[in-house]
Amino acid sequence: MEPNLPPGLDEYEMHWFHRRDFLLQQGYRLRPKFDPDFASRYHVLDETALDELRAGFYRHTIMDAVRMTDGAKVMLKLVYTSLHPHEVEIAQLFSSPLHLGHPRNHCIPLLDLLQEPEDPDIQIMVMPLLVSFQEPLFETVGELVDCWRQIFEGMQYMHENFVAHRDCTLLNILQDPILLYPEGFHPVQTLMDPAYKHLSRPITRTECWPRYYIIDFGLSRRYDPAQGSPMEDVIRGADRSPPEHIGAAYDLPCNPFPTDIYFLGNLLKEEFVYKGFPRASHDRLWLYRPLRFLRPLIKDMTRKNPARRPTIGEVVERFEKITRKLSSEHLRKPGQRIHRRDRKVQLVRQNKNISNGAPALPPYTPPTIVPLSPEMRVFYTQKRTNHEGAAIGQMLRVVDGAQKWCRDTLRRIVVNN
């Protein structure tokens, strides 16, 4: 161990430890465990303090800090420009004066950009400290509708500016916690309070209606419509299930815009509508019933043929139409499957929100959807040669056969038991 190196740091945290003085000079302070003087206090810490010390992020490229000018909590991210040459550029695009204040822009703001002093390949992005969009659980259907309304319009804004995200999956959608956690939270373990001594106490989304953000532009690209439909080699992100990323299709270039549609539809499908049900049984009987109104949209967003998926503008339009029909009673139903014992707590909270006059959905003005020209529809949709289409068709028939076998086997097991 190096001299004066605080004990309890993981190997991936060493980079941040060695950059603590540079970050201080730039106006950002890391947590106390990165202070060399912290070593003298390590052996007298109680178990709670040791737990806080051990709390760390799941990857070495991100770290929380405090902006010294105003005490705001921020997130720092290392960007290796040789690996992700477009990430900073796209983050700067959506944080420019032209885009930053747009109500449909849900890209995480870039607050500051630092150049790593000892490695010209590394830049440090400074962004607001956000939290997972899934925590706490969605107490009502209305809360989930508001969340996905924002996600869809955020992706629509990116696509309107000719940017495909290419990795819009579970970990890359966050929410602003400022109003949701009025008593604060720990930057790593949001279930704990800032001191890591007690559980955090978030309020319901119905009481504050948080804003949701799309993050991580490491795989994102901006395209020029004048050059026609973009055809890119497959780059796999967190979700590796798109049909155009599997089997024979993996070696064929594809349009990334329909894949963004698949990612969002599959996320909504796997984490909400069908969460907790066997994957092979995704039919109309095996789903979370308060969200079954989303099934037709999800089915179209995850079609095996990318050219048959709706554009993001069509997704926004259809989502608005189907959610507009939901009654206030339906919007107050639990937004996710919850244990029976938690149902009473959910009812008490919602009755309180109703008595306080909190709406089941926040006020919203749907955007005007301008139909795409034939040229732009080609730009945003999949287009392959006949030879490529035949290869994909064969692959999809194999996948369909395997899925049918799984469904039939599961049904036989259920019947026999």
For residue range 365-376, list pLDDT tens digits in order.
888 888 899 999
Q: How confident is the model at residue 44 (pLDDT cuts 50, 70, 90)?
A: low
What is the pLDDT confidence band of residue 349, given thresholds at 50, 70 and 90?
A: confident
Region of poorest pLDDT, from 54-58, 192-196, 202-206 = 54-58
Instruction: State the average pLDDT over residues 134-160.
Output: 97
Evaluate if residue 277 carries a pLDDT over 90.
no
- Per-residue model confidence as pLDDT tens digits over 7-29: 667 778 888 999 999 999 999 99
**pLDDT, mean of residues 35-44:** 65
pLDDT of residue 16: 92
Task: Give pTM, 2 decimals.
Answer: 0.88
CA distance 77 to 123: 8
d(CA 293, CA 295) in angstroms, rounded, equals 6
Instruction: Provide the pLDDT for residue 415.
Output: 58
CB 68 within 8 A of CB 27: yes
User: 249, 266, 291: which is closest to 388 by C-alpha?
Assistant: 249
> Domain-by-domain residue ranges, the chain?
11-77+112-128, 138-176+222-348+367-393
Name the more confident of 215 and 12: 215
Residue 388: pLDDT band with limits 50, 70, 90 = very low
pLDDT of residue 1: 46
Looking at residue 231, its pLDDT comes to 92
Query: Which helix (DSSP H) or strand (DSSP E) does residue 80 occupy?
Result: strand 73-80
* Spatial CB neighbours of 123, under 8 Å, sequence gap ≥ 6: 78, 79, 81, 88, 113, 114, 115, 116
Q: Hey, how many other C-beta atoms are within 10 angstroms of the C-beta on 356?
A: 9
Ramachandran area for residue 196 (φ above 0: left; ψ -120 to 50: alpha; else beta)? left
Strand-pair category, 62-67 with 28-29 = antiparallel
Mean pLDDT computed over 27-34: 90
Range from 35-39, 83-87, 341-345, 386-390 carrying the lowest mean pLDDT = 386-390
Q: How far apart are CA 233 and CA 162, in angstroms?
A: 18
The per-residue pLDDT for 383 is 61
CATH architecture of 138-176+222-348+367-393: Orthogonal Bundle (1.10)
CA distance 240 to 274: 18
**How would you label 63-78 residue by residue, b for 16+ Cβ within 10 Å and e otherwise?**
bbbbbeeeeebbbbbb
How far apart, in Å, are the Cα atoms of 3 and each of 37, 39, 405, 407? Answer: 11, 10, 61, 60
Q: 49-53, 61-65, 190-194, 334-338 — which is least confidently predicted?
A: 49-53
Residue 202 CA to residue 353 CA, distance in Å, equals 15
Average pLDDT, the chain: 87
CB 138 within 8 A of CB 346: no
Q: Pick the residue with more confidence: 50 or 263?
A: 263
- Looking at residue 119, its pLDDT comes to 94
Stretch among 211-220, 233-242, 391-400 having the lowest mean pLDDT: 391-400
User: Going along 110-197, which residue ranges are E strands?
Assistant: 112-115, 122-128, 131-132, 163-164, 173-175
pLDDT exceeds cutoff 60 at 414: no
Look at residue 32 in the predicted model and tell me its pLDDT. Answer: 82
Q: Which amino acid is at 396?
A: L
Q: List the single range of 203-207, 247-251, 373-377 with lowest mean pLDDT.
A: 247-251
Looking at residue 413, what is its pLDDT? 65
Encoded tokens for 223: 């395209």
Flag the least confident range among 92-96, 277-281, 283-287, 336-340.
277-281
Q: Which letter, b or e, does each residue of 160-194 get, where b requires 16 or more Cβ atoms within 10 Å of its Cβ?
A: ebbbbbbbbbeebbbbbbbebbeeebbbbebebbe
- Judged against a pLDDT cut of 60, whether residue 328 lies above it is answered with yes
